[in-house]
Structure 1
Amino acid sequence: MKPLANETVKLQYMKLADRVKTLMLGTIDEKGRPFVSYAPFVKKDGKLYIYISRIANHYRHVEANPDVDVMLIEDESNSANLFARERARFVCHAVNIGNEGHEELFERFEASFGAPMIRVLRGLDFSLFELTPLAGRYVAGFGQAYDIDLNADRFEHVARDGHTQSVKQAAT
């Protein structure tokens, strides 16, 4: 499998980041066990924002331990190879920023998920969390991993021999 040019892959990542509307959220529960959930999100200025209910398990987990992992992943139905789904993972620090004074974020949520839905949620027990990515990794396919930031200002190919030999053997 021939590696793609960095700019081509960067554009592919940016399309994924714009297309995906929910993220997988990895947190740690009260007993130190991993917990995976998901949340709709919006982006602004290199950060991710989620709007989650206080009764949700992941709300308590993020409040107790703000170190979280998130993953944006291509839908299975759009993936040519389920062993190499296109995805981006970020190590993040989360902060509950409350709901006051964040109208631009709510406008982004309304644009993505519909104003009627967001108006309903704003009347409930939901709260905004700001997720600041500290490190990121984008995987376009076998042998095509890149260290990135959310906006793709950093986009560096991870040069490892691990998959390269196996991919070459499989191709012959």
Structure 2
Amino acid sequence: MERTADDAVAVLTDAELMGAGAAEFGVLFDRHAHVLYQYCVRRVGPAAVEDAVADTFLIAYERRDRFDHTRASALPWLFGIATNVIRRHRAAETRYQRLVARLPAPVPEAPMAERAVQRADAEAGVRTIAAELARMSARHRDVLFLFAAGLSYAEIAEALGIPAGTVMSRLHRARQRLQAAHGGES
């Protein structure tokens, strides 16, 4: 079985792809877009997620000469870019979270009273958490969402350009605030 040029490109490292042309850079997109999409959709919602991911890769392509080629993976660097892109979308994110926090409690119908009460409690919890996220500093929120996206402390530190100890303390404080906002429940 013969190897094709596509096969050769697929085995290139992220660092090698960063130094290659636009076609090869597409392989980097194929490798990491899904993970970045999952991270971005939690941060900016479904309406803006495709723009956020596209902007992330556009910026990465334009600034690929700034990538540290000693890194094995471009993913933490891409998460850093995505976080900065999301910060530009912050006004829309804040409006969305404040809107969710102000949603009126639903009026339960008599036959479904128990389910309605449960749903109202759940929605009240969502509003409470959304309001706390809106009040939280961007630094704490960024660490929280990157951790929720599955990044390790070291990867979050690399993505945001901060020490791992700072990541741990910001994550701890963010968790404490969310727990306190939700009535201390775990």
**TM superposition score category, shorter chain reference:** under 0.3
Taking structure 1 as the reference length, what is the TM-score of the superposition? 0.23
Q: Which has the higher helix share?
A: 2
TM-score normalised according to structure 2 size: 0.22
Tell which has more relative contact order, 1 or 2 (C-alpha 8 A, sep 6+): 1
Structure number with higher strand proportion: 1
